[in-house]
Structure formats: C-alpha cells, structure tokens
C-alpha cells in the first residue's frame, strides 16, 4: 500500500482560477511534508515544505497541514498556464527517506 495518496489524479482549472490539491499519508510515523512540481520532461523541483500544523503562504501558493490527520493541501490562486505540471507530494517517515505520491496533473487552460 502506498504511504502517500494524492487526489485528484488530474485537475483542470481556468486561467486565474484556484487549484486545490490534496495529500494524505497512511503512515503514523510521517512527520514532514513537501510539495514538488515537475514540468513535462523536466525533473521535480521542491515547491514548498511544511513541518508544523497550520498554514504557510509563499506568493500565490498556500500549503496547509493537519498533523493529526496527516493531511496536507496545496492551493494555487490566480493559476497561470505556466503552473501546468505534475504536482508531487512527499512525506518523510524515516530519516532522509521520502515517500512520494503518484501526483496530481494540473492543467491550467487559457
């Protein structure tokens, strides 16, 4: 069973709209979460990380974390076509070993 589950598998939003992506872990040993973004044909790059309960905002991107439910979400406001990518959630359950979800493919339509 995958340690990290992401939903939805794919998401289409209009340009300027809000995109909301979800990630949950089934492993009670998970403590930290990351969100990576991977454009088509490129390597994943870290977008945001969150270690504490609550919310973290960086520009148009906001991440929420609920450690009790091991749920994190990524929200992208004012979505742009350049935001179209595969978004990967990663969780740490053992030192320096990250477990990645299958990703959410986001398409922002002009």
Partner 1 sequence: EAAVTQSPRSKVAVTGGKVTLSCHQTNNHDYMYWYRQDTGHGLRLIHYSYVADSTEKGDIPDGYKASRPSQENFSLILELASLSQTAVYFCASSDRLGGLNQDTQYFGPGTRLLVL
How far apart, in whole angstroms, are the C-alpha atoms of residue 108 and residue 97? 32
Q: Would you state the structure tokens that stand for residue 35, as one six-digit string?
A: 């969100």
Binding mask 4-23 for partner 1 (x = CB under 8 A): x-x-----------------
105 binds partner 1 (CB under 8 A): yes
How far apart, in whole angstroms, are the C-alpha atoms of residue 25 and residue 31? 10
Q: With contacts defined by CB under 8 A, name the span among 13-21, 53-61, 74-82, 86-94 that binds partner 1.
A: 86-94
64 binds partner 1 (CB under 8 A): no
43 binds partner 1 (CB under 8 A): yes
- Residues that bind partner 1 (rule: CB under 8 A) add up to a total of 24
Residue pointed to by tokens 């070993």: 97
100 binds partner 1 (CB under 8 A): yes
How far apart, in whole angstroms, are the C-alpha atoms of residue 30 and residue 109? 35
Strand ranges (E), the chain? 4-7, 10-14, 19-25, 32-38, 45-50, 54-58, 61-66, 71-76, 85-94, 97-100, 104-109
92 binds partner 1 (CB under 8 A): yes
**Chain residues in the site for partner 1 (CB under 8 A):** 4, 6, 32, 34, 42-46, 49, 86, 88, 90, 92, 95-103, 105
């Amino acid at each position: 069973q995958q340690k990290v589950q992401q939903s939805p598998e794919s998401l289409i939003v209009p340009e300027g709209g809000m995109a909301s992506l979800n990630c949950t872990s089934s492993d009670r040993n998970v403590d930290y979460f990351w969100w990576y973004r991977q454009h088509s044909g490129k390597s994943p790059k870290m977008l945001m990380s969150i270690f504490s309960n609550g919310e973290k905002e960086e520009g148009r991107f906001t991440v929420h974390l609920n450690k009790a439910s091991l749920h994190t979400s990524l929200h992208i406001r004012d979505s742009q076509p350049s935001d179209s990518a595969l978004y990967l959630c990663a969780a740490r359950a053992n030192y320096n070993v990250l477990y990645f979800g299958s990703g959410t493919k986001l398409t922002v339509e002009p």
